[in-house]
Amino acid sequence: MDLGEWEFAAHATATKVISDRCRSARINQSILNNLLGFNWTDDQIDGVDVPFLQIAGTSGEMLLEDLVEEYYVVFPGSRFELPTNLQQIGRLKGSIKVLKYCLDMYKGRNDAIGSLQICHHPFDEIFGVDEVGPANRKSKYIRKPWWTPKTQLERRAWDKAGEVFFT
Q: What one-character DSSP code corresponds to residue 139?
A: G
Predicted model pTM:
0.70
Q: What pLDDT does 165 receive?
A: 42
For the CA atoms of 85, 103, 98, 2, the dihedral, rounded to the nearest 10 degrees, stands at 100
Give the closest residue to 46 by CA, choosing from 64, 29, 67: 67
Summarised one tens digit per residue, pLDDT across range 119-144 is 566 677 677 666 666 777 788 888 87
Is residue 53 predicted with pLDDT exceeding 70?
yes
Q: Which residues contact 95 (CB under 8 A, 6 or more apart)?
A: 60, 80, 81, 82, 83
